Amino acid sequence: MIVYDKLINLFGRIMGDDFDLKTINEKTDLFQDLGVNSITMLMMGIAIEEEFGIQLSTNDVSECKTVGDIVDVIKKTTK
């Protein structure tokens, strides 16, 4: 759950007060529910790399549709 909590905090820092962090779960759709766009995804990718000390490929990030997808990519990359 540590990965998830760190990710939610990153969303809060990047997206600001635009949404309630308590309403986000692993099934939350990044685009429909959170209104994420390509620029936000790029910013998230950079923030994730810095926070977790990993390197993500463009495909890793672009294929993510939900918060859970991002959590899975982080976990896979940090193994």
The answer to whether the CB of 41 falls within 8 A of the CB of 61 is: yes
**Which tokens in the block code for residue 48?**
């994730």
d(CA 8, CA 71): 10
User: Where residue 12 falls among pLDDT bands split at 50, 70, 90?
Assistant: confident
Closest CA to 24 of 42, 36, 38, 41: 36
Q: What is the CATH number of domain 2-77?
A: 1.10.1200.10
d(CA 25, CA 30): 11
Residue 64 has pLDDT above 70, yes or no: yes
Residues of the chain with pLDDT > 90, as a percent, come to: 52
**41-59 mean pLDDT:** 91
